[in-house]
Structure 1
Amino acid sequence: MAVNENKWGILYCPKNSFRPQKRWENIEKVLRSERIDFDYVQSESTGSVERLVKMMINNGYRTLIIIGGDSALNDAVNCLMQTEKEVRDQIALGVIPNGMMNDFAHFWGFQEGEIERSVKWLKEHRVRKIDLGRINYKNKHGEPCHRYFLNCINIGLIATIMNLRRQTRHIVGSRTVSYVISFILMIFQRLEYKMHLKINGESINRKVMTVCVGNALGYGQTPNAVPYNGLLDVSVVYHPEMAQLIEGIYLFVRGKFLNHKSVHPYRTKEVQVRNEEKALVGIDGRLLNSPLGEYTIRVEQEVINFLIPA
């Protein structure tokens, strides 16, 4: 049955934290005080997000609000990109940050502790067409696959750290503590990988510590990237000496990652990757099943309607 097109469809993705229902009750209170007409569903697991978003699309909701983090948003946009363009163009996607990592929400100024401000911004229904990144690859069976991303793709060490951070934050809760633990655990990880990259006609064939392809902030590695210029920012990091590595961690935490001399930045529409030593690949903070052989990362311009602050 079709619903009122002004009614919000809300998907609540609870964190694995203490009293997640209390978080929803606080958000619900704000929604009702702002007289928002909405229906909501709660995801049971990571794998249920795309199914529930598809259900809301099929039921005619034109405003979809994800109360979750980067991974939940990633699932939502991948579901939206499976719909016909005529349907997708009628739908606006918004976020109230509630994930283990909320980098894309932070890009726009949405913060976890500011529910009232987030809801008021979303209520203004200010829509901006935004870009998505897309990775085309083959899975372990040799079948062609693709996946879209809002924030970034990481290849190599940072993908490993982001995976460690996700796991440790489930345990310790604190974002800062999880970062520190992840960097400590980093010393037990492999620090460089043989890769062959092609960026803007330049061929890079050498050992690389990490690569970040950012449509937005890239968890601090592509701080100048914006999801509305039809381009991707790329940071390629060669393996520094130990003192430089410590300096790099410091600059990363301080938000000055590009100042490090081992970081080589690019801006492009497409990156070709031959991941010769099978470095881990992370997409919007979640590991991607290791692509087989070569893969391509490119940008698709202005394909999603996103609700931004008024």
Structure 2
Amino acid sequence: MALPRKVLIIANPVAGHGRTKKRLPALRSALENLDIPYDVVETERRGHAVEISREAAQNGYDVLAAMGGDGTISEVVNGLMQAREEGRESSVKLAVIPSGTGNDFAVGSGLFATWEEAVRALTKPSVRYMDVFLFSDSAGFTRYVVNSVGIGYDAYVVKRVLELGSRKIGGLSYMFEALRGIVHFDPAPVSISLEGAPRVTYEKTWVCAITNSQVFGGGLKVNPDASTDDGRLNVAFLHGVPRKNLLPLVLLVRSGKHVGREGVVLKAATSIELSAPDGFPCHADGDIVDVRFPMKVQVIPKAVPFVANGRA
């Protein structure tokens, strides 16, 4: 891939608890020092990056760069995929400039650990085609997912933090709600069908994590064998674990040492259909979804070209 003619930076100024906004002057300076032509647009509301990327896909940019966390990347991917649905296909590539709190997709897919590394890669870029997921439910809701769909305890924690408006507190709010959830969240039976096979029910499911990369939930290596370009989704169940054992198990998940432990089930497939009790919490790339079960997640293989490090 040649040096990009023009890059559109789609920046979420509140990502990373406001750090993205503070990094923009340094980002501009770095791009100018590298002689990379660019524009910057800051998102103003939830869903704004979807609108921006959908329109920008055919406006002369050859790279759309999502600067923020998983939610920002997800919105940019949704905009690009919607443009394709509307017949406005283009050769635009996507770049990830990690500047969120967890940066699970950037880390878990092996792209870039820092925003500086991502910007430098634009000078000698290569392209990696990566999978995305199509998520749908029985009420007709659909969206594309770049990193993860989760139901259960992890979605409960995210929902609580958002309801309390405590994002401004930072990671401490998530830690508090995670500990609170161990006491107050009630696991439930979850049934799955992989690729149309007969349903299997996991009683007392704490977490069902359907991931594209290895990592979700702010650094939890929940699916160590996952790959973003293998044409498969990976599913992790934590179920049947006594409440008192949940925290030690979650701590093992952070380093991927939960594999083989009692109450842990790992699967891989090209599609999954899943049922759970009404109201069981669900998120898609960190956005809470009022899902109507059954829901389905399927892989779209190598759907999106991402800018990677050409020196690797």
Q: Partner residue of 1:207?
A: 204
Cα deviation digits, residues 219-278 of structure 1 (max 9, x gap): 122222111111111111213123431320220233323343211000111111122243
- The residue type equivalent to 1:196 in the other structure is S
- The residue type equivalent to 1:126 in the other structure is S
- The residue type equivalent to 2:147 in the other structure is N
The number of residue pairs the alignment matches comes to 298
Q: Partner residue of 1:265?
A: 266
1:157 equivalenced with 2:153 (yes/no): yes
Q: Partner residue of 2:51?
A: 51
Say which SS state the counterpart of residue 125 (structure 2) adopts: coil
Q: Which moved more, 1:60-69 or 1:252-261?
A: 252-261
User: Do the aligned partners of residues 217 and 31 (structure 1) sit closer, same or farther apart at CA in structure 2, a change above 3 Å counting?
Assistant: same
Displacement after TM superposition at 1:197 (Å): 1.3
- The residue type equivalent to 1:7 in the other structure is K
1:184 equivalenced with 2:179 (yes/no): yes
User: Do the aligned partners of residues 18 and 179 (structure 1) sit closer, same or farther apart at CA in structure 2, a change above 3 Å counting?
Assistant: closer
Partner Cα separation in structure 2 for residue 14 and residue 79 of structure 1: 19
User: Do the aligned partners of residues 50 and 156 (structure 1) sit closer, same or farther apart at CA in structure 2, a change above 3 Å counting?
Assistant: same
Displacement after TM superposition at 1:192 (Å): 0.7
Counting only pairs closer than 5 Å after superposition, residues 60-75 of structure 1 correspond to structure 2 as 60-75=60-75
Displacement after TM superposition at 1:165 (Å): 5.8
Displacement after TM superposition at 1:82 (Å): 1.2
Q: Partner residue of 1:229?
A: 230
Partner Cα separation in structure 1 for residue 210 and residue 20 of structure 2: 33
Partner Cα separation in structure 1 for residue 166 and residue 102 of structure 2: 10
* Percent identity for Structure 1 against Structure 2: 22
Q: Partner residue of 1:96?
A: 97
- The residue type equivalent to 1:194 in the other structure is P
Partner Cα separation in structure 1 for residue 80 and residue 29 of structure 2: 28
1:172 equivalenced with 2:174 (yes/no): no
Say which SS state the counterpart of residue 29 (structure 1) adopts: helix
Say which SS state the counterpart of residue 49 (structure 1) adopts: helix
Counting only pairs closer than 5 Å after superposition, residues 16-55 of structure 1 correspond to structure 2 as 17=17, 21-55=21-55
Gap regions ≥5 residues in structure 2? none
User: Do the aligned partners of residues 76 and 18 (structure 1) sit closer, same or farther apart at CA in structure 2, a change above 3 Å counting?
Assistant: closer
Partner Cα separation in structure 2 for residue 19 and residue 128 of structure 1: 28
User: Do the aligned partners of residues 260 and 302 (structure 1) sit closer, same or farther apart at CA in structure 2, a change above 3 Å counting?
Assistant: same
Partner Cα separation in structure 1 for residue 161 and residue 303 of structure 2: 30
Displacement after TM superposition at 1:301 (Å): 0.6
1:168 and 1:181 in contact (8 A); partners too: no
Q: Which moved more, 1:85-94 or 1:147-156?
A: 85-94
User: Do the aligned partners of residues 203 and 21 (structure 1) sit closer, same or farther apart at CA in structure 2, a change above 3 Å counting?
Assistant: closer
Partner Cα separation in structure 2 for residue 88 and residue 130 of structure 1: 17
**Structure 1 segments of 4+ aligned residues over 3 angstroms from their partners:** 16-21, 85-89, 162-169
Partner Cα separation in structure 2 for residue 282 and residue 44 of structure 1: 22
Q: Partner residue of 1:197?
A: 192
| TM-score normalised per structure 1 | 0.87
Displacement after TM superposition at 1:291 (Å): 2.0
- Structure with the larger helix share: 1
Counting only pairs closer than 5 Å after superposition, residues 253-292 of structure 1 correspond to structure 2 as 253-288=254-289, 290-292=290-292
Partner Cα separation in structure 1 for residue 244 and residue 292 of structure 2: 34
Cα deviation digits, residues 147-194 of structure 1 (max 9, x gap): 111111001112112444667872323x4x444323212134323112
Q: Which moved more, 1:149-158 or 1:85-94?
A: 85-94
Partner Cα separation in structure 2 for residue 190 and residue 235 of structure 1: 18
Partner Cα separation in structure 2 for residue 197 and residue 209 of structure 1: 14
User: Do the aligned partners of residues 48 and 18 (structure 1) sit closer, same or farther apart at CA in structure 2, a change above 3 Å counting?
Assistant: closer
2:20 and 2:67 in contact (8 A); partners too: no
1:5 and 1:60 in contact (8 A); partners too: no
- The residue type equivalent to 2:209 in the other structure is C
Say which SS state the counterpart of residue 295 (structure 2) adopts: strand
User: Do the aligned partners of residues 211 and 5 (structure 1) sit closer, same or farther apart at CA in structure 2, a change above 3 Å counting?
Assistant: same
Partner Cα separation in structure 2 for residue 102 and residue 53 of structure 1: 20
2:190 and 2:275 in contact (8 A); partners too: yes
1:100 and 1:169 in contact (8 A); partners too: no
Displacement after TM superposition at 1:129 (Å): 1.0
- The residue type equivalent to 1:231 in the other structure is R
Q: Partner residue of 2:12?
A: 13
Partner Cα separation in structure 2 for residue 260 and residue 95 of structure 1: 34
Q: Which moved more, 1:82-91 or 1:122-131?
A: 82-91
